[in-house]
Amino acid sequence: MLGYAALPAFFLLYAEEELGLGPSVASLWLAGFGLATGMGIVLAGRVKNPALHRPLLLAGIALLGGGFLGVGASTSLVPVGGALVLGAAGFGLVSTLGFPLFSTLIPEREAGAYTALYFSVRAISSTIALPAAGWTVQATGSYRSLFLLGGIATLTALVPLVGIPRRVNRFRTALGLLAVVPVLGVLVAHTDVRRADERLYSAINGLGPGPELLWQALDPHTRNYLLLIALALVAAAVTIVRRVPSVFARVLGSAVLAWGLLEAVYSVYDRARPEEVVEHAVLNGHSWAHLNSFPSGHMAITAALGVAVALAFPRLRFVLWAYIAAVAFTRVMFGAHFPLDTVAGTALGTASALLVAIAYDQRRRRTQVEPAEPFSDERSLVAVMPSHNDVPERALVRQVLEHVDSLVLVDDGSRPDVAVQLDALAEEFGAELVRQPARSGKGSAVRAGVDRARGADAILVIDADGQHPAEAIPSFVRAAGDSELVIGDRFDDLAEMPFPRRLANRATRRLFELTTGREVRDTQNGMRLLRGSALELLPSGGYEAETEHLRRVLRAGVPVAWVAIPAIYGEERSSFRPARDSARVLWALVRPLGPSNPQQDRASLRARFPRARPWRSERRDRRGTALRPQQAPAAAA
């Protein structure tokens, strides 16, 4: 949309500057582009089979991106005309088939919002198209850069549509990338690929030299290497401080391995620099004739550092990939390297980062926690139900006891009248009751219940306010067969969630993924089944304990699963304090994690110090209810 909105205005300038066409002739070319686009729209509209929409959309993107690249790579009228026709046909396909595919991704009952989002993005793109195109021309000094950069940006849309396998054998990928280097070296040295490489160099280098600011930002290699290393250290310090040494070793090791492989290639092969081969190369006063050209050392080290950081912090990968691509493109535009030099250097650097990552992962697996034995129906399951001023419905307690061996109720500093009702409920159903002397927070209440249920093979945490469906417990048990932490997932039922909470949960999930680099689902749901190492890593605290626990579990490599449950919201009063508890959850997301051993309960820490007078809740307990003696867990009837 950006390119199409800017095309009419800038194509006339491009045609005059690069093709030598007057405005009247250039306008006829634009009319031809519109005609070819219309033909593409008509043909796409006649396709009735929805199964063909995706393949045709892929073809449209390939035609559009390839057509733009073809226009930018030549200044001859015939090739440019043919490339424009291909690009126009591709744009017609994309315009017609893009929204139907987008509509299949819209969640149920949210069609209006997502339709508005789709057309809002189109409108905003049209608004910023002209200034963006103008800045691009000013930055590169060439109108052809609009088509080259536009074609590259268009083709990147193929990545999410085609899809990338979740699990890729890194070792095979690294070996394949390393094999690219000698293959390209042989092709450049002994075939006509060298001439094609030189012609492509001339086309891209002709866009230069570019503004001085671009040189200052992307050319100094040592400074940029240090900035990439600093980025990795900052990301490690923000997420998990203990990872700083390992991340530093991993990133620096990738660069050292790339440097060693470079020296090995340089010892057997030396290609002349472009300035020694191509006449009238644009160098902006620089010279690299005294350095080896193939593969690009600048790109090898940059790719090694960038990919190493991306592997350690996947949420930064798109920014880093864009940076690597920008450096590769400008190495040619600045006149330092041929295109295949940068390709070989990028392959070598990426392979180095992958090999170091493989060695790091193998070492890490030896230090991870041992997985627990598979969970089965024969093992004991105890439910822990924390409560602060909530009295669970008897139907809920009855349903829970149908699926677990026993129930532990935790009174987290409730009012006297609620405390009395919890006493009666525990007496009626034979449940254990743990009473906190004061409100200590949900995490501490869960911890107290888990401590009381020690000896159980697994713990199911379920809230007392009725927001967690007891009928989902069998699904949690099945998911725990090969997972040690199972969490309820409400993201398939977001339409039933109040808008503020929906927004907060989505934001928390994205921030969690950004800070940990792990793909997760519902991070804030309190219905959880814990066993094995997940029990040992359980912290105390407030609502933030759930976030901290998930971070600890993922860091330790404990298997986690999510089970879909409905989002249940009624008239219940939540004990979540928006300002205070949200701030604590946010801090738990970004603060460095300490040791993996669980923290002690704040109540037990306070108990170490003498108090001048008893807590008000303790005086209330002596007046209203007596602490229940510990009972043996009762089996469900």
Confidence (pLDDT) at 255 = 94
All domains in the chain, ordered by first residue: 2-162 (1.20.1250.20), 170-367 (1.20.144), 381-574 (3.90.550.10)
Select from 298, 281, 256, 79 the least CA-distant residue to 198.
281
Q: How confident is the model at residue 598 (pLDDT cuts 50, 70, 90)?
A: very low
Of 273 and 371, the structure prediction assigns the larger pLDDT to: 273
**pLDDT of res. 627:** 41
- In sign, the C-alpha dihedral spanning 520, 525, 529, 530 is positive
Give the pLDDT mean for 92-97: 85
- Report, as an integer, the average pLDDT of 169-181: 85
Considering only residues 254 and 140, tell me which one the structure prediction assigns the higher pLDDT.
Answer: 254
pLDDT of residue 453: 86
The 528-531 sheet, strands edge to edge: 432-436, 406-412, 381-387, 458-461, 528-531, 485-489, 560-564
Q: Classify the C-alpha dihedral 274-275-279-281 as positive or negative.
A: positive
DSSP string of 565-626? ------SPPP---HHHHHHHHHHHHHSPP--SSPPPPHHHHHTTS--SS--HHHHHHHHS-P
pLDDT band at 605 (very low <50, low <70, confident <90, very high): very low
pLDDT at residue 304 in the model: 95
φ and ψ at 383, to 5 degrees? -95, 135
pLDDT of residue 407 exceeding 90 = yes
Q: Can you tell me the mean pLDDT for 615-621?
A: 40
Q: How far apart are CA 188 and CA 294, in angstroms?
A: 10
What does the pLDDT average to over 526-545?
Answer: 87
Higher-confidence residue: 242 or 460? 460
Range with the lowest mean pLDDT among 22-26, 237-241, 321-325, 484-488? 237-241
* Whole-angstrom distance, CA of residue 302 vs CA of residue 251: 11
Q: Tell me the mean pLDDT in the region 85-109.
A: 78
Best CA proximity match to 202, nearest among 339, 14, 81? 339
* Confidence at residue 260, expressed as pLDDT on a 0 to 100 scale: 92
What's 202's DSSP letter? H
Give yes or no for residue 87 having a pLDDT over 90: no
| CA dihedral of residues 147, 153, 157, 162 (deg, nearest 10) | 90
User: What is the predicted pLDDT for the residue at 168?
Assistant: 53
Residue 409: predicted pLDDT: 93
- Give pLDDT, residue 602: 43
Of the two residues 382 and 170, the one the predictor is more confident about is 382
Q: Is residue 164 predicted with pLDDT exceeding 70?
A: no
Which residue has better confidence, 263 or 146? 263
Most confident range, picked from 44-58, 164-178, 369-383, 574-588: 44-58
| Average predicted confidence (pLDDT) for the chain | 80
Q: Does residue 300 register a pLDDT over 90?
A: yes
| Mean per-residue pLDDT, 135-158 | 75
Residue 637 above 50 pLDDT?
A: no
Average of per-residue pLDDT across 463-477: 90
pLDDT of the residue at 604? 43
Share of the chain above pLDDT 90, in %: 21
Would the pLDDT of 486 be above 50?
Answer: yes
What tokens appear for 205 in the block?
């280098």
Contacts from 27-33 at CB under 8 Å and sequence distance 24+?
29/81, 29/84, 32/81, 32/84, 32/85, 32/88, 33/7, 33/84, 33/85, 33/87, 33/88
Which pLDDT tens digit goes with each residue over 245-283? 888 999 999 999 999 999 989 888 888 889 888 888 888
Residue 327 to residue 427: CA distance in whole angstroms: 71
pLDDT band at 488 (very low <50, low <70, confident <90, very high): very high
Reported as a single tens digit per residue, the pLDDT across 329-366 is: 989 988 889 999 999 999 999 999 999 998 887 766 55
pLDDT band at 107 (very low <50, low <70, confident <90, very high): low
pLDDT at 72 (0 to 100): 76
Tokens standing for residue 304: 């090694």
